[in-house]
Amino acid sequence: MLELVHRGGGPSRADLTALTGLNRSTIGALVAELVELGLVLETDPSATNRVGRPSRRVLPDPRPAIIAVNPEIDAVTVAIVGLGATVEHRVRHELDHIASPEETAAVIGDLVEELRLGPAKDRRLIGVGLAVPGLVRASDGVVRWAPHLGWREISFPRLVESVVQLPTVADNDATLGALAERLFGVGRGVDQMVYLNGGASGIGGGVVINGQPYRGAYGYAGEFGHNRPRLDDPAHRVTVGGTLEEEVSRARLLSILGRRTSDEPEFEAAVLSSSDPTLHTELARQQIVLGGALGNAINVLGPELVVLGGFLATLLAWDAPALEAAVAARTLPVAWEGTRIRAAGLARNRLLIGAAELAFNQVLKDPASFADH
């Protein structure tokens, strides 16, 4: 029931009755229990086209919240995320160097303390969710390898938990981005999906098969950025045998723009407003390389939807027909038929929403556990 309210956009009691198959009195009792726990609210009934008395809507209570965090090589981003994937008070703390796990945890602690004294002072904080750009062991959140951060075998959730004194969980950032887009973004209702995330640390990805996230045998599936694309024209390659994330590079685009770092909306605005021919040439080259990588993914996995997040969404926004043509040229025609390529619907909030979803998991599974918070 809580999951339906959390992900359903404010269903009515009648909607919940239809979705669950339970009778109205049972729905009423369950809703009342969730209200008592402080997890949902009921609103006055709104007019509908249905015959009979309008049914009351059930909405997420705005008080429960997760602190969602995305540590990167150039910034640490923190936000309060409520039930229903509502992102509030997003803060980006820029860094002038790559921080150690301990230093990053200290920065997170400072940002969380500011939120607790201000916007989050009246919230019921459940925990912290971390979207980490690296290989993260799903069972315990240990960061096995985050190459761009330089972290290896770090129990980062435990470090953060010791600082903020809240239960803390972690997973790969792109895996969480895929989860968020599947539940709340352009992938809602899509059962076969490939997601690629382009961030400051490179390119990661996630796969949804038959409606379920595909993690691989050990939880590390989706590392598209470490594949080495085959390029027919040597002019399209700028590194020697480089990986996808070395060839399709946010840092290279920022350098042409004359910037060291940039938040995603600022980056996209700068790219789309630029008339620099050097930038345009580089964008076109990166589209060709990305097109080959996406073609391989489509040939192997046969998704109905490919979702691009971060700076990869900007490559799509700059010239969508050109990127689609690059993909089509490297994809089996029957595999390409019907496949759609879309920008992440949750935009810059996708990783934070994914991190929050991970941290909300225990309450969604067992709402009664929230009574202890």
Instruction: Name the pLDDT band for 52 (thresholds 50, 70, 90).
Output: low
pLDDT at 46 over 70: no
Amino acid (1-letter code) at residue 42: E
Helix axes 320-328, 311-318, angle to 10 degrees: 100
124-132, strands of its sheet edge to edge: 86-94, 75-82, 64-71, 124-132, 168-172
What are the pLDDT digits (tens) for 131-164? 999 999 988 999 999 999 999 999 999 999 999 9
Compute the distance between CA of residue 330 and CA of residue 232 in angstroms, rounded to an integer.
11
| φ, ψ at 168 (rounded to 5°) | -130, 135
Residue ranges of E strands in the chain: 40-42, 58-60, 64-71, 75-82, 86-94, 124-132, 135-136, 143-146, 151-154, 168-172, 193-199, 202-209, 212-214, 305-310, 340-343
- Nearest Cα to 230, choosing from 288, 281, 176? 288
Report the relative pairing of strands 193-199 and 202-209 from DSSP bridges: antiparallel
pLDDT, one tens digit per residue, over 79-91 is 999 999 999 999 9
pLDDT higher than threshold 80 for residue 49: no
Angle at 36 between CA 34 and CA 40, to 5 degrees: 45
**Residue 231: count of CB within 10 angstroms of its CB:** 15
Residue 175 has pLDDT above 90, yes or no: yes
Q: Which residue has the higher pLDDT, 276 or 54?
A: 276
- 338, with CB counted inside 10 A (0-12, 13-18, 19+), is exposed
Asked if residues 136 and 162 have their Cβ atoms less than 8 Å apart, the reply is no
Q: What is the pLDDT of residues 285-326, one digit of tens each?
A: 999 999 999 999 999 999 999 999 999 999 999 999 999 999
Grouping H, G, I as helix, E, B as strand and the rest as coil, residue 258 is coil
Q: Which of 300, 355, 299 is nearest to 330 (CA)?
A: 299
Using alpha carbons, list the distances in angstroms from residue 205 to 149, 321, 358: 18, 22, 17
Q: To 10 degrees, what angle do helices 277-301 and 320-328 make?
A: 40
pLDDT digits (tens, 9 = 90+) for 194-213: 999 999 999 999 999 999 99
CA distances (Å), 259 to each of 157, 240, 270, 281, in order? 32, 25, 10, 18
User: Exposed, middle or buried, 211 (CB in 10 Å: 0-12/13-18/19+)?
Assistant: exposed
Q: In a 10 Å sphere around its CB, with 0-12 CB exposed, 13-18 middle and 19+ buried, how is residue 42 labelled?
A: middle
